[in-house]
Amino acid sequence: MKPFLEALGDIPHSQEAAALRVKSADFSWFSPIMSAALAGRTAEVVIAPRNEEDVVRIAAACAKHRVPLVARGAGTGNFGQAVPLARGAVVEMLGLDRILFQKGNIARAQAGIRIGVLDEVLRKQGRELRMHPSTKKLATLGGFVGGGHAGVGTVNWGILRDRGNLLGLKVITVEETPRMLELRGDDVNLVHHAYGVNGLVTEVELPLAPAYEWLDTIVVFDDFARAVEFGMALATQDGILKKLVSVHAWPVPGYFVPLRKYLPGGKAAALLMIGAETREPFDSLVRQFGGTTTYSVPESGIYEYTWGHTTMHALRADRSLTYLVCIFPREDPVGTIKRVHAKLGSEVFLHLEFKRFNGYMTAEGVPLFRYQGFEQMVRLYKALEAEGARIANAHTFLLQNGGMKDLDTAQIDFKRSVDPHLLMNPGKVAGLDDLPGGISGTALEAAQLPASGWAY
């Protein structure tokens, strides 16, 4: 480690225990299984590059001295993406926070910029990001591209992987003499959602959406099934502007303490972002489905109760809870959701995010349940699969086992070309850069949970 640290020169870095602990953690504590599996995994050094030149020097030094490295944004991932399994260095990208250009409906920025900061600048130009995670205030652009997949806005634009949502990425290889690659077209998906195993992303180019005047809105329903029907109707009403359609079965809304007075006990709730311009037709739709609008105010952060934040609020209220992630089938999402709720509703509290995905509208389920052990989780996964839902394994840090990323030969070849010494986030790609000694115990069990995958 010492020659490596010397090679860093004046690049800011720290070996303080507190810094190492904090900067080696992410939100994988959402999962009791991963929490156990990742306990005690910390880096040896946290490095904070100030610019792209620093990143190149870090990459060269890691390659030369064979030091493993993990790129880190704000650490808001849920799947251990940013947890260093093989010690080495955590490279915190927050210093790379410049907007490089905004031209019409395209913007390019450095990877370490906070998504919320970028979005605020864009809003002043009448534009906004097509989508952002519920962690937008904290999360970085590079972190979203490397570890995320969708978010607020996905109901309109599909997931980040869908063609057209990522225009370009600049990637630095981890070699003695690092190269800079510009990935465009379909090639962006080599690096997107790859947990940083195949290149250090320094720049991201994105298409923009027009900025609408959004209204944070809550509509409640006596009946969850009706709320789901409403959610799908709203999500597919092409003429009504929306950015978020998030539907929650009771008791989930009960965990949203600051919103409590808009969320009557026992009722299902839809948390929404609606365009002010189409408020009247939206009201007609609410009337048609018999919902009650309890809240509607200019945009003020309702998205921080949806997507990943739903789980966070629930776990803050009740640490016995955990979650799983599934996607309802394209053919009959509403029917499948109703069946799952009817059969499992007393054990599994449904939380849905309506999303476009591969060109079709469906809903992602992020249900909550009281964790009783591994066998229960296997049972629930299988019960969901039996109804036709497809599972993404949210309890493993192994990239392929998550079920979303399909690491084909082209991906593995690309990984080897940009990271010939297999130093980038090692331990995440099973069969290629396994941890010394392999994985075992809960980590192994978690990796073996069903993951029917998200492709269809």
Mark residue 202 as left, alpha or beta (left: phi above 0; alpha: psi -120 to 50; beta: remaining): alpha
* Of 334 and 383, CB closest to a second copy: 334
- Say how far apart CA 80 and CA 31 lie, in whole Å: 10
The SS3 call for residue 192 is: coil
Distance CA 265, CA 253 (A): 8
Determine, following the binding rule CB under 8 A, whether residue 385 of this chain makes contact with a second copy. no
181 or 430: whose CB is closer to a second copy? 181
Choose the stretch contacting a second copy; rule: CB under 8 A; options: 116-124, 141-149, 162-170, 418-426. 162-170
- CB of residue 239 vs a second copy: minimum separation in angstroms? 3
Strands 69-72 and 89-92: parallel
Residue 186 lies near a second copy (rule: CB under 8 A)? yes
Of the residues 30, 144, 157, 354, which one makes contact with a second copy according to CB under 8 A: 157
Cβ neighbours of residue 27 closer than 8 Å, sequence gap 6 or more: 75, 76, 77, 78, 308, 312
Please say which residue, 318 or 331, places its beta carbon nearer to a second copy. Answer: 331
What token pair was written down for 347? Answer: 């054990």
Q: Which residue number, 186 or 375, has a Cβ lying nearer to a second copy?
A: 186
Residue 417 CB, nearest approach to a second copy (Å): 21
Site for a second copy in 308-327 (CB under 8 A): none
What angle do helix axes 224-236 and 333-344 make, rounded to 10 degrees? Answer: 160
Is residue 334 close enough to count as binding a second copy by CB under 8 A? no
CB of 356 to a second copy, least distance (A): 5
Side-chain half-sphere CA neighbours of 445 within 13 A: 14
Give, for 327, the enclosing helix (H) or strand (E): strand 325-327
What track of x and - describes contact with a second copy for positions 266 through 305 (by CB under 8 A)?
A: ---------x-xx-xxxxxx--------------------
What is the x/- site pattern for a second copy, positions 344-383, by CB under 8 A?
------------x--xxx----------------------
Regarding 260 and contact with a second copy (CB under 8 A), the answer is no
Largest CA distance in the chain: 69
Work out how close the CB of 357 gets to a second copy at its nearest, in angstroms, rounded to a whole number.
8
Count residues contacting a second copy (CB under 8 A)? 42
The DSSP bridge partners found for residue 365 are: 326, 352
Taking each helix axis as running N to C, give the angle between helix 374-386 and helix 333-344, from 0 to 180 degrees, rounded to the nearest 10.
140
Does 236 contact a second copy by CB under 8 A?
yes
**Distances from the Cα of 269 to the Cαs of 49, 119, 255, 257, in angstroms?**
44, 27, 12, 14
Residues binding a second copy (CB under 8 A): 104-106, 126, 130, 156-158, 162-165, 167, 184-186, 207-210, 212-213, 233, 236-241, 275, 277-278, 280-285, 356, 359-361
